[in-house]
Amino acid sequence: MTPQPHALDINLEPADNRRLANLCGQFDEHLRQVERRLGVEINNRGNHFRVIGDAGPVQAASELLKSLYATTSEQELDPQSIHLRLQDSELEALVDEREAPGADVAVHTKRGVIRGRGPAQQRYLLDMQRSDLSFGIGPAGTGKTYLAVASAVDALERDEVRRLILVRPAVEAGERLGFLPGDMAQKVDPYLRPMYDALYEMMGFERVGRLIERHVIEVAPLAFMRGRTLNESFIILDEAQNTSVEQMKMFLTRIGFGSRAVVTGDVTQIDLPRNQKSGLRHAVEVLKDIPDVSFTFFTAKDVVRHPLVQKIVSAYEQHSDSARED
């Protein structure tokens, strides 16, 4: 049975709106910082907080919130102070309690064997093999989309499914499809490029083109899923943090017989209007106790990038810290 995400509820006392605002930061930036680093989801209403994720990171995030709140009465928190507290070795020890599955987990494509790098990716691959519905949640660069496409290709090659369906919210950061030139396929293509790139790498340009022409591979905006039932398909919903609650429910109820679905997203990079709740955040809360639904929460440690990219990210972080100090 797939391990279920842990949820821990905490009440921060005394309830003080000024201190709570200090803890959360402007537009909840401090909470998003903790989520991104520890690979958890944090929801709150007033002084009641719920932390969702793997057991170790959930415990670490909860202890961190309590500790930070204790300092809010005498200290103004900022991203740099949050970063320093996240460097605490005791927190790192709690997060590192995550373990990889015992067996070697791999998927096979025409271009070779793909294995998970690190325990989180290995668990993610195993979950996608065992569960009809899997969630991969975490920052960019952790392999969420790439490994989902690899699992979809593997399932197609093994004749476990008959179609691959790649879905993504097509409206991001205030842009609308109607403003883009071309027909619907041309309008949607830029939003689905990461999945196309993974397909081309694993199957080759010509084969992907042929399968798209035969509708074995289908690429569609999320809005086009309404009213459909998808049988014997491997369905991937990418960038799911930009779905509304209604859109997420609509997508999840498209799953038909013999199908598997994978939902990927980063809850710290939501482009929806601030007053609109992310369908991905809502789904984690609603579905966390369903045994047949699996969740993998990635952290910044799981990022797989070219070494130069890691140096670039570090340089930008140091520059931001210097600018705040000035």
Q: Could you report the per-residue pLDDT of 121-178, keeping only the tens digit for each?
A: 888 998 998 899 999 998 888 889 999 999 999 999 889 999 999 998 865 444 454 5
- What pLDDT is recorded for position 224? 83
Q: Residue 105: is its pLDDT beyond 80?
A: no
> Can you give the pTM of this predicted structure?
0.71
Summarize the confidence of residues 45-56 as an average pLDDT.
Answer: 90
**pLDDT in the model for residue 174:** 45
Q: Is the pLDDT higher at 194 or at 311?
A: 194
Query: Mutual orientation of helices 55-71 and 29-38 as an angle, nearest 10°?
Result: 150
| pLDDT at residue 107, as a whole number | 83
- pLDDT for the residue numbered 269: 80
Q: Give pLDDT tens digits for 178-212.
A: 555 565 556 666 667 778 888 888 888 899 999 99
State residue 319 phi and psi, 5-degree precision: -65, -40
Mean pLDDT of the chain: 82
Q: How distant, in Å, are the alpha carbons of 11, 43, 66, 85 from that of 248?
A: 29, 18, 32, 35
All CATH 3.40.50.300 domain ranges in the chain, comma separated: 106-307
**Is the backbone peptide bond immediately before 14 cis, with ω within 30 degrees of 0?**
yes
Residues of the chain with CATH 3.30.1370.10: 6-97
Tell me the average pLDDT across 301-314.
63
Sheet holding 48-53, edge to edge: 6-11, 48-53, 41-45
Residue 290: what pLDDT? 87
Poorest-confidence range of 88-92, 198-202, 250-254, 259-263?
88-92
First-residue to last-residue Cα distance in the chain: 52
CATH code: domain 6-97 is 3.30.1370.10
Length of the chain: 326
pLDDT single digits (tens) 212-248: 999 999 888 888 888 888 999 999 999 999 999 999 9
pLDDT of residue 173: 43
The reply to whether CATH 3.40.50.300 applies to domain 106-307 is yes
Taking the C-alpha atoms of residue 274 and residue 169, their distance in angstroms, rounded to an integer, is: 17
Cβ atoms of residues 98 and 302 within 8 Å: no
> Crossing angle for the helix pair 144-157 and 184-203, nearest 10 degrees?
70
